[in-house]
Amino acid sequence: MNLLNRSLLTLKEYTQEEITYLLDLADKVKEERRKKIVHQRFIGMTLAMIFEKRSTRTRCAFETAFGEEGGHAVFLSTDDIQLGAKESIEDTARVLGRMFDAIEFRGYKQETVETLARYAGVPVYNGLTDMYHPTQVLADLMTLREEFGRLKGLKLVYIGDGRNNMAHSLAIGCAKMGIDYVIISPKELFPDQSFVQEMREIAEKSGASITVTSQIEGNIAGADAIYTDVWASMGEESKASERIKLLTPYKVDKKTMEMTQNRNCIFMHCLPAVKGQEVSFDVIEGPASRVWDEAENRKHTIKALMLATLGKA
């Protein structure tokens, strides 16, 4: 499959077959890593990594994945470059596109990563914006497939802020791959209705369903995975007390997991987590938790993405 020179801004632009190809390739590079099989497929290549927001998994995944293959990654924070300050995003994109083989961006506005992709002339990867987090969902899909041996027909329930980047991105990934997806959130934090309708149209083609509700009971039974995220994302710290008040009834704990009526149900979280807030300590540290598998799989799916889009698969 040819994904040469493709950017990843959201998973909307990728077909089910293309996502499956990336997951298959991620399985392969993960196995290579475990067997200590070393390739140098990015020798002589460079990756620009632009970070407006702090990062553990995204930065480490991109940097180690690129470096293991012999490439050189350059970390660029807003203290290091003129992105949108003295220099327009368009001009920054043109300059970086002439010096680097690919660009990763992690920041606030989705428009920024879209502008970079429009003007750079090289693949641009969305490492997180306020709206979307597609590389995380690739890792989540990989983790689900490792656990259950399939994606189609699974049921994933997201509990928490229904408007954040994970709620959005999981909706896209599930709709594309045939996973029944339920957002359980306070009505004040429901996703935009036009987005929900768009996802339902995609889901209809894959045989999946998209449900948005404020009620946990009656909507969580039969879940194969329960997913949550922090209640106040980076940049939303001022809303923390308001979110705690709204979301405390939506904390994932042992009782929540038992309500699935599924002994094999797993717990997922993109991390970092505030243990004791959105999820109880015994759940995230318990036998149902797959959060560390998700974290590791960030690296393998990101390596697969770069191999495929840079023509090195």
The active-site residue out of 136, 224, 243, 300 is 136
Query: Quick check: 226 and 159 in contact, CB under 8 A?
Result: yes
The active-site residue out of 161, 163, 229, 269 is 229
Rounded to whole angstroms, how far apart are CA atoms 52 and 89? 13
106 an active-site residue? Answer: yes
The active-site residue out of 6, 57, 133, 145 is 133
The active-site residue out of 6, 57, 106, 290 is 106
270 an active-site residue? Answer: yes
The active-site residue out of 130, 270, 290, 300 is 270
The active-site residue out of 163, 290, 298, 300 is 298
253 an active-site residue? Answer: no
Could you tell me the two tokens for 92? 């920054």
24 an active-site residue? Answer: no
Residues 6+ apart with CB under 8 A from 270: 133, 136, 140, 166, 229, 294
136 an active-site residue? Answer: yes
Tell me which residues are annotated as active site: 106, 133, 136, 229, 270, 298
